[in-house]
């Protein structure tokens, strides 16, 4: 497959990323543990399905080169400065911040991509969302021939009508988490405008800072796996999860209080989180792998064991959701604990094409491997099986049960 360069840039603003990329960058920026830490991030596609991703390399490089020419505008920085948890010194860091193509390494691996980002942590982490959004939209354009808007709009209206057909659902809310796998930036904007107009009672906002700013939506997000993984490189391995939770508290003092639970399995998370100190400071938990119903039951029981009323806490579900699945989860937990949802691919790339299941994850920090061990084995990602099994042993997981995904 050959093609001419696109006539437009797919990313035109460094604010075209998720809120939690900025909040984690600030936490890394302020944490003395990470001042000299180099990292490596790796791209993976879990469902290539015969698509020739290697043919996208010239345009990926061209688009990333443009991203590296961008800076935050004064208006964007003023917007970020309005958040109570963003600090003035970090705004000044962002004022001179830009990404650098020196840290981008890409080559073909058959018809797949071997795409990696290597360099200082605070200069690498923001590449993730831009690169994924670029690859996802290039896939829509070059592999799928673009978006059939009639199909896309019909599918969106089916979702809207499904929610409208339900009896009253107090406490039900969902947000857009789909920037990284969107069919296109223009389609994401249309979906957000439509949801804001059609479902104001249920649609709570977006992880996209760009669209939160331009469309007057609430930006939503806290932490992701990289925050928890990175602590493996700077502290005793068995303490990495607790140190990450404590480091987040040190930075945000109870703000942005949704903790991600699946870097080392829910059971090990409960072991490390069960101190009422964390239970009271964090507002709730985010699910990102494994059975959501079993996970939620474990969370409710954990809060009960801590003497905390589960109805004062929130569970955020964000793993492989669709609208019927959200309704199932909501009905299961209704009235027992607060529930919200972050939905990505099924919202922003359900357009009649086959979307790519793509991720970019941290695989090394400080010259050492890092990994996550999800509650769903296929979502674990590491390049060193011995390290992965040692990590499992440190967190009460059977080392024989973990494997490196090919």
Dig out the tokens for 265 from the structure.
């399995």
Domain final residue pick, 348, 376, 393: 348
For residue 406, the model assigns a pLDDT of: 52
Query: Across the strands, what pairs with 112?
Result: 109
Same domain, 261 and 363: no
Q: Are residues 289 and 156 in the same domain?
A: yes
Residues 174 and 275 in one domain: yes
Answer yes or no: is 2 within a domain: no
For residue 119, what are the contacts with CB-CB under 8 A and spacing of at least 6? 38, 39, 100, 102, 103
Do 277 and 334 belong to one domain?
A: yes
Q: Look at residue 184 and tell me if it is in a domain.
A: yes
Co-location of 307 and 385 in the same domain: no
Q: Is the pLDDT of residue 375 over 80?
A: yes
pLDDT value at 172 more than 70: yes
**201 and 107 within one domain:** no
CATH number of the domain that residue 305 is part of:
3.20.140.10
159 is in which domain, residue-wise? 150-348
85-94 pLDDT, tens digit per residue, is 999 999 999 9
Chain segment 281-328, per-residue pLDDT in tens: 999 999 999 999 999 999 999 999 999 999 999 999 999 999 999 999
pLDDT at residue 297, rounded to an integer: 98
Residue ending a domain, among 348, 363, 378, is 348
Q: What is the pLDDT of residue 5?
A: 86
Contacts of residue 347, defined as CB under 8 A and 6 or more positions apart, other chains included, come to 159, 176, 177, 178, 191
pLDDT of residue 49: 85
Residue 204 pLDDT more than 70? yes
HEC assignment per residue over 20-70: HHHHHHHHHHHCHHHCCCEEEEEEEECCCCCCCHHHHHHHHHHHHHHHCCC
Share of the chain above pLDDT 70, in %: 98
Structure confidence at residue 3 (pLDDT): 64
Q: What per-residue confidence (pLDDT) applies to 378?
A: 63
Q: Kindly state the DSSP code that residue 377 receives in the 8-state scheme.
A: G
In total, how many domains does the chain have?
2
Tell whether the model's pLDDT for residue 1 goes beyond 80: no
Is 8 part of any domain?
no
- Same structural domain, 140 and 213: no
Written as six digits, the tokens of 199 are 């479902």
């Amino acid at each position: 497959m050959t093609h001419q360069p696109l006539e437009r840039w797919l990313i035109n603003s460094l604010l075209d990323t998720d809120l939690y990329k900025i909040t984690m960058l600030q936490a890394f920026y302020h944490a003395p543990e990470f001042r000299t830490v180099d990292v490596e991030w790796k791209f993976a596609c879990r469902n290539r399905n015969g698509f020739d991703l290697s043919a996208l390399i010239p345009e990926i490089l061209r688009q990333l080169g443009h991203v590296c020419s961008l800076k935050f505008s004064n208006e964007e920085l003023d917007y970020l400065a309005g958040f109570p948890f963003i600090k003035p010194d970090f705004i000044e860091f962002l004022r001179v911040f830009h990404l650098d193509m020196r840290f981008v390494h890409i080559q073909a691996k058959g018809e797949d991509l071997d795409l990696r980002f290597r360099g200082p942590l605070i200069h690498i982490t923001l590449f993730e969302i831009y690169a994924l959004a670029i690859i996802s939209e290039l896939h829509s354009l070059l592999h799928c021939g673009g978006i059939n808007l009639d199909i896309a709009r019909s599918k969106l209206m089916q979702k809207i009508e499904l929610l409208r057909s339900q009896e009253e659902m107090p406490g039900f809310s969902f947000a857009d988490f789909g920037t990284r796998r969107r069919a296109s930036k223009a389609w994401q904007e249309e979906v957000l405008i439509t949801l804001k107009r059609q479902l104001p009672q249920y649609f709570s906002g977006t992880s996209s800072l760009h669209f939160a700013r331009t469309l007057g939506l609430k930006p939503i997000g806290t932490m992701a796996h990289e925050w928890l993984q990175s602590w493996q490189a700077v502290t005793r391995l068995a303490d990495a999860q607790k140190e990450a939770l404590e480091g987040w508290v040190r930075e945000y003092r109870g703000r942005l209080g949704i903790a991600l639970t699946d870097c080392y399995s829910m059971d090990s998370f409960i072991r490390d989180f069960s101190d009422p100190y964390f239970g009271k400071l964090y507002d709730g938990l985010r699910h990102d792998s494994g059975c959501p119903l079993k996970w939620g039951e474990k969370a409710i029981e954990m809060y009960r064991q801590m003497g905390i009323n589960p109805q004062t806490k929130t569970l955020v579900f964000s793993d492989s959701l669709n609208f019927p699945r959200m309704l199932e989860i909501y009905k299961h937990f209704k009235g027992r604990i607060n529930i919200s949802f972050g939905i990505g691919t099924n919202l922003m790339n359900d357009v009649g094409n086959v979307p790519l299941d793509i991720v970019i994850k941290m695989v090394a920090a400080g010259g050492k491997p890092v990994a996550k061990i999800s509650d769903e084995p296929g979502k674990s990602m590491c390049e060193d099986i011995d390290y992965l099994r040692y990590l499992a042993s440190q967190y009460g997981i059977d080392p024989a049960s973990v494997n490196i995904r090919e």
